[in-house]
Amino acid sequence: MSDTNSDETHGVEGTTELENTLIAVELKLDEAFEAAGRQALTDDEAGAGMVLEQVLDLIYDSFGSVIPYDRIGVATTEDDGQIVRSRWARSEADNLKMGTGYAAPLEDEAVQNILGSGEPLIVNDLEAYLKEHPESQPTRDIIEEGMRSSLTCPLASGSKPTGMMVFSSKERNAYTDKHRDIFTHIAGHVATILERSRMYEKLIDLNWQLQVASDALEYQATHDGLTRLWNRTAILAAIEREIDRARRQEKAITIVMCDIDNFKAINDTHGHLIGDVVLQAVAGRLSEALRSYETVGRYGGEEFLITLCDCDADGAPHVMERLRTAVGGEKVETGKGAISVTISLGGAVSVMANTDIDELIRVADEALFAAKGAGRNCHEVRVVEAGDK
């Protein structure tokens, strides 16, 4: 068999191997999309970029048996085709000079020559090419990475250019017409996979933005704007859930009504802005003094409602004293100086959670009234027996 026939046979086998690889990549694409989507909903940032990176990593690990390279870079068209931006690069070099983010205008001569012709470009001596085109920063960067030859392959969706894939090697004269023909044969398939990856990224990013917006709306609906605690509706709903849980588990539950002492006088003396500062400070100190399984919300005005799970008449006074000390232990710093702030607390304990929320709140309010009558800056606890009204 002649060398020409041998190259042709190897070229056909190589093309078939790459096509099989691309089929496997496509099968993994949906899996990567789902995984990236799940991470986007749980992380602080969207999973955009994950899908494309995973797909290109698969290509990088699979193409080496047919096309030689020590580096692959991918750039895609953006801004309605006005620029080409580097989206991904992976290299065997110790230093990656040109990673993601590099952009060139579409009217750039080198970019036009590649995307306009639609044909892969072989440069088997990058150093010689740079001498002829000293303005080419990408060439200079990959030479500094140690690359000496490249195969630049345009990507298109139909007749529309979508980007390019650049294979680079540390060896001069690494690429032949055979490599160009192999990629030309599979270019449409590669472009389709990359376009699907980009589409998935956009969907992931959109879903993440929608989730962020939904979370923000939910937060606004359930939290008090000033103190950032649960609002009245949300804290009542949380108490209902805790009562149901305590009832199923046959455990005690305590509801605490908390009120800032002489709050009207604070507003009258220092103004409502200072009153807001006090409300925020008290809310913060209550939150910090509670354990993770204890909840607090703003019930209204200067009143707070607190849930103490699995807390009976013996334990409630200790928790309430901790809260009283946390708030009144030191003055609240304001724009008009430090202000002494204290709270009174009234607790209603339901043994075996054998009463409803309305009754618990009523009894907690009575206990709070008693604490106020006892001189404020103290707490009272009452046990609600089954059937108490």
Is pLDDT above 80 for 157? no
Residue 224 pairs in a beta bridge with: none
Instruction: Report the pLDDT averaged over residues 227-237.
Output: 96
CA distance 288 to 282: 10
pLDDT for 295: 94
CATH of the domain at 40: 3.30.450.40
Residue 153 lies in a domain: yes
Residue 255 pairs in a beta bridge with: 307, 348
Residue 277 lies in a domain: yes
* More confidently predicted of 85 and 377: 377
Residue 367 lies in a domain: yes
pLDDT for 4: 43
Residue 313 lies in a domain: yes
Last-in-domain residue among 170, 189, 216: 216
Last-in-domain residue among 165, 182, 216: 216
196 and 241 housed in the same domain: no
Q: Cα dist. 319→279, 332, 345, 350, 357 in Å?
A: 20, 21, 11, 16, 20
Q: Which amino acid is at 44?
A: D
165 and 19 housed in the same domain: yes
207 and 238 housed in the same domain: no
Q: How confident is the model at residue 10 (pLDDT cuts 50, 70, 90)?
A: very low
Is pLDDT above 70 for 47? no
pLDDT for 154: 87
Instruction: Report the pLDDT averaged over residues 6-32.
Output: 61
68 and 205 housed in the same domain: yes
181 and 46 housed in the same domain: yes
- In the chain, the number of structural domains is 2
Domain that holds residue 80: 3-216
CA distance 180 to 304: 73
138 and 270 housed in the same domain: no
pLDDT in tens, 341-383: 999 999 999 987 788 999 999 999 999 999 999 999 999 999 9
Last-in-domain residue among 216, 243, 274: 216
186 and 277 housed in the same domain: no
144 and 19 housed in the same domain: yes
Instruction: Report the pLDDT averaged over residues 233-247.
Output: 94
pLDDT for 260: 98
Residue 292 lies in a domain: yes
Q: How confident is the model at residue 11 (pLDDT cuts 50, 70, 90)?
A: very low
17 and 159 housed in the same domain: yes
208 and 248 housed in the same domain: no
Token reading at 66: 């047919």
Q: How many whole angstroms from its chain centre is CA 173?
A: 45
Q: Which amino acid is at 92?
A: E
Residue 173 lies in a domain: yes
Most confident of 149-163, 188-202, 237-251: 237-251
156 and 31 housed in the same domain: yes
Q: Which string of DSSP letters, residue by residue, matches 266-289?
A: HHHHH-HHHHHHHHHHHHHHHHHH
Residue 222 lies in a domain: no
Phi, then psi, of 195 in degrees rounded to 5: -65, -40
CATH of the domain at 267: 3.30.70.270
311 and 353 housed in the same domain: yes
The 10 Å CB-count burial string (b at 16+, else e) for 335-348 is eeeebebebbbbbb
Residue 120 lies in a domain: yes
Q: According to DSSP H, which parts of 290-378 are helical?
A: 316-328, 357-373
